[in-house]
Structure 1
């Protein structure tokens, strides 16, 4: 009598569990790094918005002689369109709220984190609020 050998194709339960364990370990390592990367990318967008606003405010000051008064309509002495200046005053983001405080001779731009963005840190330094003023002082320094 001849013996038949039957070859079975497939994956055993042990092999499947090993693959799942490896994937779980890789995910546990990669997820926090990815989340931190996303927070930093959102912060970079906020920094970009603050710096663009700073450029417009400086252009306005060069043309008009002052930064304008907070809470008032900026004079039309500049070649900056009212829509550009409105975009500075009404910057919007899903992750930051922006504010401008201006007194004619000085200003402070602020970006305050919202929701999950409040977890953004650079080392042990929390990165909210981000501030930028007319002297180009940036706080917190580690987050710029």
Structure 2
């Protein structure tokens, strides 16, 4: 539809039909950046959650070892139970123990996705004296425990 403007020129009315391709590409790019940031944060929280579960499993094993020692006055013969949380974390941690008559060390070593996703806190350990340890570049043991 053509109209004549007061200046004598022709003005065309144009209806906006929607977004241009450039506008759409910008929106898709922004959404992709936000999604990648959200996924990275989510993956980090999953690693922390599994680590917290592994430390809880180790503490449960410590309680078992102390009950065993209380009734027998030795750690020899104690078999660390592979309870539900240990089997639940089977794909992410390998649990181990070193046991003598008067001392023990329990460990949880990350594997698979857990080892790849967390370079700060690798192998977690606890001794019969309650000394908590970790391998990896974390600055403090409490960062991992």
TM-score range, shorter chain: 0.7 to 0.9
- Higher Cα Rg: structure 1 or 2? 2
Q: Distance in 2 between matches of 1:45 and 1:62?
A: 26
State the TM-score, normalizing by the size of structure 1. Answer: 0.74
Q: Contact 2:106–2:126 (CA<8 Å) still a contact in 1?
A: yes
After superposition, where does 1:130-141 map in structure 2 within 5 Å?
130-140=124-134, 141=141
Residues 2/23 of structure 1: CA separation in 2 closer, same or farther (3 Å cut): closer
Deviation at 1:117, TM superposition (A): 1.2
Deviation at 1:41, TM superposition (A): 0.8
Q: Does 1:97 align with 2:97?
A: no
Q: Distance in 2 between matches of 1:86 and 1:96?
A: 15
Residue aligned with 2:82, SS: helix
- Aligned residue pair count: 126
Deviation at 1:87, TM superposition (A): 2.3
Residue aligned with 1:36, SS: helix
Where structure 1 has 5 or more consecutive residues not aligned to the other structure, the ranges are 75-81
User: RMSD over aligned Cα, in angstroms?
Assistant: 2.6
Residue aligned with 1:87, SS: coil
Q: Contact 2:115–2:122 (CA<8 Å) still a contact in 1?
A: yes
After superposition, where does 1:71-86 map in structure 2 within 5 Å?
74=78, 86=81
Residue aligned with 2:76, SS: coil
The range that moved more, 28-37 or 54-63, is 28-37
Q: Contact 2:58–2:106 (CA<8 Å) still a contact in 1?
A: yes
After superposition, where does 1:35-54 map in structure 2 within 5 Å?
35-54=43-62
